[in-house]
Chain A
Amino acid sequence: MPFEHLLVLSFILFALAAAGFLTHKNTIVLLMFAELMLNAANLALAAFAKLSGSPEPQIFILMIFAVAAAEAGVGLALIILLARNLKTLDIDEIRNLKG
């Protein structure tokens, strides 16, 4: 697969994730789209690794994976806390804080 195709695929994935992030209402689905954005960026790094032949981007990808996992862990804990407190997963019903 040529490098350009991989890069374009990663851009499409990123755009889809961003669009999904802006249109969906479920707290868990939103978390999934946020993670998808990170994966799209990782794919772009992989494409650049293929282009340059350098192992450096692959190391970046591993580190980004680790950070994304930690972030998802805290995110899921927050979703559970929210669901327990407010008995809902709908982002539109979470609006107690308002000016």
Chain B
Amino acid sequence: MNPETASHFMRSLAVPLTLTAAALAALFLPMIAGKDDARPGLAVLGAALALLAVFPASGPDSISLFSGALTLSPFTNYLWPFFLTALAFTVLLSLRARGGLPGAGEYYFLLALAALGLMLLVSAGELLTVFIAVELLSVCLYALAAINRSPAGAEAGYKYFLLGSLGTGMLVMGIALVYGTLGTLNFEAIQSALPFSHPSSLIPHPSLHPLTSTGFIFLIAGFSFKAALVPFHMWVPDVYEGAPTPVSAFMGAAVKAGGILILYRLYVLTAGSAQFREIFWGLAVVTMVLGNLMALPQQNLKRLLGYSSIAHAGYISAGFFGGSEGLKAVLYYLAVYALATMGAFAVIAAVEKDERGITVKDLDGFSGRHPWLAGAMAVFILSLAGIPPLAGFFGKFYVFTAALKAGCVWLVVIALVMSAVSVYYYLRVLTAMYMEKEHTALHARPSRAMNLALILLALAVTALGIFSAPLLRLAQAAAIF
């Protein structure tokens, strides 16, 4: 190991270890130092910011650790800071909301561990590590959804747990079948064990062993639960509505990204087979069509954002087909989508009375009393709808261009039509805020931390649209698979 690699290795290893230490500190602080609700949050926030500062922006090409269990690569160099940033914003949104509620220590502990699970998930080099990372993430999220111990939270947590464990069951069965027929769980070894990864082989139409195909189908289904693709999306609206709003924001921004990227890995493994490409094609189409159609009649804003997150997962999966340019677009899209959805949830967190959030009708005349909050919400919603010059437009533009170059014309046509449909429900939010008369006064008292988060998010969504080059360069560097 040369000195440069060794230094990168040590710094990278410090990230998960420091985050774990911060999580434990957050858990034990309230027991040692009495009930100061801000301190556990500040511990996790500080750790996330410090790690963002020390994390190397670039490193050597790829290091394999622990006999291939973890891989550090340009890919993780992009995604680890992404998840740390999402964690930092989630803590900023939670700081005041946690005041006066029980279990602040546990809350930040679980949040930090969920972020850790996501970081391990994207750096995993083999399926068993993926499984353990997914479970670390999911078990924390089940508890986080119900952390307020309210009826809505308990229902959200249980529904998430139930459908999540159905997904886990499929995942483990898929892992068993893939291991049993291929004899390995390592991604690279699986890739070279699959018949269609050797274009020069003599078999004219290489086909998979039926048990291997079944295994991959189970894996795709299991991960589709985590990424919330239709028809495995049933939990999303309920969980987004019932979970505490900062937790919903974290799910939309970060957890979604983790699920999508692990599906991308499966896509790369199976892309040599026309049948599997068709499965992914079908999932993308069904997800974007049904996600948008089901969002149309929603009244609760958190539910609406839940369905909108399903639809966005569909658009993002269109980028799978574009090769390395597609991956670049997907990485860019995930970042700008995360900023916009985090921002929209932040506005809800600033005005809501309990964790069920607000309805679109509650926003009637919102711009009169709170012009700044309404302006920020408008920026986030317009970015989600994909209106230029905001970042969301460029995300869609790059993803659809990459898919188009790969020859998926129909997929892009459907995506464009569904984007047009989605404008309807996004505009409903805007017309409520700007055109309607106020009938119920919403009292927003955003804390300083929340204001800071809102300003940063709104600036980022605007700036990354007008100047998309820096983030695109980062995504480009990370898109080597």
Contact = CB atoms under 8 A, between A and B. Distances in A.
Nearest to A17: B169
Contact of A82 (B158, B165, B176, B297): B158
Contacts of B146: 78, 81
Contacts of A21: 166
A16 to B, nearest CB: 12
A12 interface: no
B478 interface: no
A74 B151 contact: no
Contacts of B44: none
Given A37-B166, A38-B169, A44-B180, A81 B149 contact: yes
Nearest to A57: B179
Contacts of A37: 165-166, 168-170, 172-173
Contacts of B298: 99
Most A Cβ at <10 Å: residue of B166, B242, B299: B166
A60 B139 contact: no
A81 B172 contact: no
Interface residues of B, number: 45
B415 interface: no
Interface string A38-68: 1011101101100110001100100110010
Given A82-B154, A97-B238, A41 B135 contact: no
B328 interface: no
A49 to B, nearest CB: 9
A70 interface: yes
Contacts of A97: 152, 155-156, 159, 237-238, 241-242
A90 to B, nearest CB: 12
Contacts of B150: 85
B155 A52 contact: no
Contacts of A86: 151, 154-155
B299 to A, nearest CB: 7
Nearest to A35: B165
Contact of B128 (A17, A60, A94): A60
B294 to A, nearest CB: 8
Nearest to B180: A48
A7 B181 CA distance: 12
B155 A82 contact: yes
Contacts of B173: 14, 37, 40-41, 44
A67 B152 contact: no
B183 A52 contact: yes
A77 B294 CA distance: 32
A12 to B, nearest CB: 13
Contact of A47 (B158, B169, B180, B185): B180
Nearest to B240: A97
Nearest to A80: B154
A78 B153 CA distance: 10
B139 A71 contact: yes
A96 B139 contact: no
Contacts of A82: 154-155, 158
Given A40-B173, A78-B161, A96 B128 contact: no
B67 to A, nearest CB: 12
Contact of B168 (A18, A30, A71): A71
B393 interface: no
B303 interface: yes
A79 to B, nearest CB: 7
Contacts of A31: 162, 165
Contacts of B159: 94, 97
B300 interface: yes
A10 to B, nearest CB: 8
Given A63-B128, A78-B154, 14 more contacts: A7-B180, A17-B169, A18-B169, A34-B166, A37-B165, A44-B176, A48-B176, A71-B138, A71-B165, A79-B158, A81-B154, A81-B157, A81-B158, A97-B238
**Which 9 residue pairs of A and B lie closest in terms of their CB atoms, listed nearest first?**
A37-B169, A48-B180, A41-B172, A34-B165, A44-B176, A41-B173, A97-B238, A85-B151, A81-B154
Interface of A: 7, 10, 14, 17-18, 21, 27, 30-31, 34-35, 37-38, 40-42, 44-45, 47-48, 51-52, 56-57, 60, 63-64, 67, 70-71, 74-75, 77-79, 81-82, 85-86, 94, 96-97, 99
16 contacts: A14-B173, A38-B172, A41-B169, A42-B172, A48-B180, A71-B138, A71-B165, A74-B139, A74-B142, A74-B143, A74-B161, A75-B165, A78-B161, A81-B149, A85-B149, A97-B152
